[in-house]
Amino acid sequence: MTPVLRRVVVGVLDTNCWVLHADGDRRALVVDPGDDAPAIAAAVTDLDVVAIVLTHAHFDHVLAAPELAARWQVPVLAHPGDAPVWPDELDVVRRTGFWDAGTATDDLLATTPDRLLPPAGPLWDGRSTPVADGEVLEVGQLRVEVLHTPGHSPGGISLLVGEHVLTGDTLFPGGPGLTGTRLSDFPTIIRSVRRLFELPGGTRVHPGHGADTSIGTERPHLREWVVRGW
Ligand SMILES: [Zn+2]
Ligand SMILES: [Zn+2]
């Protein structure tokens, strides 16, 4: 069954919110509803969303989850390893008044600080339905395999469906996601990337921000990334 992917770019960090369904089937997953619930809802009016999945619990991947979960009456699925991450995100907001946007924070605070303010609406309560490594989510006729790919965060997951993998902030064109900050770890993300690189070279990689790539395009660069250390 052919998977169909739709991308909705949302929020201050241009997060890729992915909609995933089988061709000819209305049942769909929404992955990483990071902001802008109206835009995401508008992108799925012809579909029946059965669940929301979080690749990880950073604010830029979850902000619209509570509103959309309530609207669609669907569960929010996440890996339990990320349980400390959302409380940590909230702690940063309490201490500083702003979301931590990683390496983009200083630029954003200098240019458009209001975009790093927490939204007026309700915040996620952090509750999720746990998913485990190797678990298969059946979405209509699609089989979506959960791969635990920690490192950017302890409970980061990738979602493998046919010849496509949604990598969240674990793998991008040009390298792994950000580490060196709270709850992240570079050797761990490299182990996760090595695991993703066992997939066939033609596998399309759909990251949590920016452009798509493929396993075969990125795989030859692993050594450079390990040597540079990020
Ligand atoms: Zn992240
Ligand atoms: Zn992100």
Specify the residue for token string 């992108």.
43
Nearest bound ligand to the CA of residue 15: 2
Nearest bound ligand to the CA of residue 207: 2
pLDDT score recorded for residue 121: 83
Does residue 116 contact residue 101 with C-beta atoms inside 8 Å?
yes
CB-CB neighbours of 132 under 10 Å: 11
Distance of CA 139 to the CA centre of its chain: 18
Give me ligand 2 centre to Cα 24, in Å.
30
Give me ligand 2 centre to Cα 107, in Å.
16
Give me ligand 2 centre to Cα 99, in Å.
12
Nearest bound ligand to the CA of residue 183: 1
Ion ligand 1, residue ranges at CB < 5 A = 58, 169
Give me ligand 2 centre to Cα 160, in Å.
18
pLDDT one-digit tens code per residue, 76-128? 999 999 999 999 999 999 999 999 999 999 999 999 999 999 988 889 999 99
pTM over 0.95? The answer is: yes
pLDDT one-digit tens code per residue, 152-211? 999 999 999 999 999 999 999 999 999 988 999 999 999 999 999 999 999 999 999 999
pLDDT one-digit tens code per residue, 14-27? 999 999 999 999 99
- Which distant-in-sequence residues (6+ apart) come within 8 Å of 176 by Cβ? 151, 152, 170, 186, 189, 190, 192, 193, 225, 230
Distance between the two ends of the chain, CA-based, in angstroms? 37
Domain spans of the chain, in order of start: 3-228
Which is the CATH superfamily of the domain at 3-228? Ribonuclease Z/Hydroxyacylglutathione hydrolase-like (3.60.15.10)
